[in-house]
């Protein structure tokens, strides 16, 4: 009996504590830290929010969401390992959702402060919005398994592969090129030791080595460190702030209606994204329950809001990459504790200040490449075109992100554009808004067409038209908000819905034609 218990302990230890967990930990924790510091920079720097509310309430509350979510995913990984008898299980990663961070800071928290002139009330409004978003995600969790059964794998993996390649890999590549001495050295370590699987000397984890070498070279080159006084620090002095649950959000509830059309689309995107990443983990060999993954995301978001958080959590799409790094459940456990403690004790910004972006970016680039490769490897070869088709809305999102940044730098707005440039901008906006949902529908539809299941493909396009009527996809507004089609001045949603309807009608007509004149090979 003792030997059996010792064997079980050894199995549990190999699951929780692996050398690869350090690599995976660096990727996940830095991503989360960066999101929270970015949120603080936007609210304090741009909207002039009181620092005591941002650092004493918002960041700790948001960190609690990551703490709870990653702890639950750690437990889920341990249970999966016990149930299957496998020791190669990798936990699902969870963190702060990047797209909605910008949407909520620029579309909810910041504007609420500008309208009310009351920072405390704006914070309570944001808490209420996050709690309602969490409720929607929790309710949506019960639809997840059905969606996963119905949508072809190309439709599920195509959107996250597009996000991985274009947003997670390409955007960090820009950081690498901006600081090539640091970035290229860290990049070659990642490419050689993680992608090429050639061990780093002395068995040092490659991601850890890449970051440390980047810090050393950055300091030596004068691009970073004590002598670089021109680089502003984003961090706030360490402060204790225990985020306990509070009912103060109730004071914000009467004001939330104006902000829900902006917030709810991001809840829907995270639901779809959670279904996608569960399929991605399954393709990598770890079969998690879709409903449990989504419920964790919804409940951790609600708990975050109750504790003062103003951004939502989401299951990250990096599971296959963290598995490739050798991560088990230790990296999510470590991330949960680190982010939770950093949020409570207030040292998030101080740690981020020590990490050159170019040294960390290669880790994200690897994650993007790994997920993209998995999308093709786990999809039938005949569906490759459907995976690529699902990339197109993500490409629009990438271009729009950079274009909006350029316009902002020039002091311009989209309304200032004229002629062909304005038409191009609105086409990008059309493709970009709700891109995770539209990517899934497009990829799924084309996969069904390739398999000659035209009636099912027609359903995908018909559903696309219905969603476009309410702005779930293709919202004509820059903030991507939802709407009732009869309550807005533009007829564009009706035109888009009609266009999708024509596609569905054509496919149904071809179904009849196929029945009358069956294909002969």
pLDDT (0 to 100) of residue 388: 94
Residues 70, 125: one domain? yes
Look at the block and give the residue holding tokens 């985020």.
Answer: 243
Do 428 and 318 share a structural domain? no
Shared domain check, 265 and 173: yes
Q: Residue 314: beta bridge partners? A: 95
DSSP 7-68: HHHHHHHHHH--THHHHHHHHHHHHHHHHHHHHHIIIIIIS---HHHIIIIIHHHHHHHHHH
Provide the mean pLDDT of the chain: 86
- Kindly state whether residue 35 falls inside one of the protein's structural domains: yes
pTM: 0.79
Q: Say if 359 falls within a structural domain.
A: yes
Determine the Cα–Cα distance for residues 409 and 391; give it in Å rounded to an integer: 28
Domain count, the chain: 2
Question: What are the beta bridge partners of residue 94?
Answer: 315
Q: Which helix (H) or strand (E) covers residue 349, if one does? A: helix 348-353
Sequence-distant (6+) residues with CB within 8 A of 17 are: 328, 330
- Are residues 369 and 263 part of one domain? yes
Question: Given CA atoms 33, 35, 40, 42 in this order, what sign does their dihedral have?
Answer: positive
The DSSP bridge partners found for residue 516 are none
Q: What is the DSSP code (8-state) at residue 477? A: S
Last residue of a domain, one of 350, 375, 400: 375
* pLDDT (tens digit per residue) in 280-318: 999 989 999 999 999 999 999 999 999 999 999 999 888
Is there a domain that residue 521 lies in?
no
pLDDT at 159: 83
Task: Show the CA angle centred on residue 20, arms to residues 339 and 75, nearest 5°.
Answer: 55
- Closest C-alpha among 104, 131, 92 to residue 265: 104
- H or E stretch at 101: helix 98-104
For 7-27, how does the pLDDT look when each residue is reduced to its tens digit (9 = 90+)?
555 555 555 678 789 888 988
Residue 6 falls inside a structural domain: no
Tell me, yes or no, whether 2 lies in a domain. no
- Asked whether residue 8 is domain-assigned, the answer is no
Same domain, 208 and 90: yes
pLDDT the model gives residue 261:
81
Q: Based on the domain organization, do 134 and 97 belong to the same domain? A: yes
Query: What are the angstrom distances between the C-alpha of 2 and each of 5, 6, 73, 164?
Result: 5, 6, 29, 46
- The torsion of the CA quartet 452, 455, 461, 465, rounded to 10 degrees, works out to 170
Indicate whether 257 and 391 sit together in one domain: no
Establish if 7 belongs to a structural domain: no
Residue 343 sits in the same domain as residue 472:
no
221 and 195 both lie in a single domain: yes
297 and 395 in a single domain? The answer is no
Q: Are residues 307 and 396 in the same domain?
A: no
Q: What is the C-alpha separation between 133 and 270, in angstroms, rounded? A: 10
Q: Which of 375, 405, 437 is the last residue of a domain?
A: 375
Out of 322, 344, 375, pick the residue that ends a domain.
375
- Taking the chain (521 residues) in runs of 10, the rounded mean pLDDT of each run is 54 64 86 82 85 88 94 95 89 88 84 90 95 94 88 85 84 89 92 90 84 86 47 49 87 89 82 89 92 95 94 90 89 94 78 76 84 85 94 92 85 85 92 90 95 95 96 89 88 95 96 71 41
Cα radius of gyration (the chain): 23
The residue range of the domain holding 361 is: 15-375
Q: Is residue 3 part of a domain?
A: no
Q: Is residue 481 located within the same domain as residue 349? A: no
Cα–Cα distance list, 122 to 135, 243, 311 (Å): 20, 18, 14
- What are the two backbone dihedrals, phi and then psi, of residue 313, each rounded to the nearest 5 degrees? -95, 160
């Amino acid at each position: 009996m003792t030997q059996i218990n010792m064997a079980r302990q050894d199995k549990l230890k190999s699951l929780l504590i692996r050398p690869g967990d350090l690599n995976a930990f660096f990727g996940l924790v830095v991503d989360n830290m960066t999101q929270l510091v970015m949120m603080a920079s936007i609210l304090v720097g741009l909207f002039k929010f009181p620092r005591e509310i941002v650092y004493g309430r918002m960041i700790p509350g948001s960190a609690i969401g990551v703490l709870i979510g990653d702890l639950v995913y750690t437990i889920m990984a341990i249970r999966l390992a016990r149930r299957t008898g496998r020791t190669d299980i990798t936990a699902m990663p969870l963190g702060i959702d990047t797209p909605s961070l910008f949407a909520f800071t620029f579309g909810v928290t910041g504007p609420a402060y500008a309208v009310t002139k009351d920072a405390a009330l704006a914070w309570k409004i944001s808490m209420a919005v996050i709690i309602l978003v969490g409720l929607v995600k929790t309710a949506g969790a019960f639809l997840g398994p059905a969606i996963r059964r119905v949508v072809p794998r190309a439709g599920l993996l195509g959107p996250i592969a597009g996000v991985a390649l274009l947003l997670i890999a390409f955007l960090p590549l820009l950081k690498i090129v901006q600081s090539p001495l640091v970035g290229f050295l860290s990049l070659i370590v990642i490419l050689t030791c993680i992608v090429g699987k050639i061990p780093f000397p002395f068995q040092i984890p490659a991601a850890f080595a890449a970051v440390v070498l980047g810090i050393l070279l950055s300091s030596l080159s004068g691009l970073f460190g004590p002598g670089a006084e021109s680089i502003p620090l984003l961090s706030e002095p360490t402060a204790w702030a225990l985020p306990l649950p509070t009912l103060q959000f109730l004071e914000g509830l009467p004001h939330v209606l104006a902000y829900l059309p902006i917030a709810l689309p991001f809840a829907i995107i995270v639901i779809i994204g959670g279904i996608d990443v569960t399929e991605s983990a399954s393709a990598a060999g770890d079969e998690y329950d879709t409903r449990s993954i989504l419920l964790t995301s919804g409940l951790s978001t609600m708990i975050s809001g109750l504790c003062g958080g103003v951004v939502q959590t989401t299951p990250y799409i990096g599971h296959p990459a963290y598995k490739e790094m050798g991560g088990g459940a230790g990296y999510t456990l470590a991330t949960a504790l680190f982010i939770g403690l950093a949020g409570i004790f207030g040292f998030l910004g101080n740690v981020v200040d020590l990490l050159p972006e170019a040294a960390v970016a290669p880790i994200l680039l690897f994650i993007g490449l790994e997920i993209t490769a998995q999308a093709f490897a786990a999809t039938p070869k005949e569906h490759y075109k459907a995976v690529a088709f699902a990339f197109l809305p993500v490409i629009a999102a990438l271009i729009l992100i950079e274009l909006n940044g350029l316009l902002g730098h020039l002091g311009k707005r989209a309304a200032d554009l004229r002629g062909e440039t304005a038409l191009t901008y609105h086409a990008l906006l059309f493709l970009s808004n709700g891109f995770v949902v539209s990517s899934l529908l497009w990829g799924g539809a084309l996969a069904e067409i390739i398999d000659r299941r035209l009636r099912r493909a027609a359903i995908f396009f018909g559903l696309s038209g219905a969603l476009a009527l309410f702005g779930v996809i293709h919202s004509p507004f820059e903030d991507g908000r939802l709407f009732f089609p009869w309550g807005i001045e533009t007829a564009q949603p009706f035109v888009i819905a009609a266009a999708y309807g024509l596609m569905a009608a054509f496919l149904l007509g071809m179904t009849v034609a196929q029945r009358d004149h069956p294909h002969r090979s």
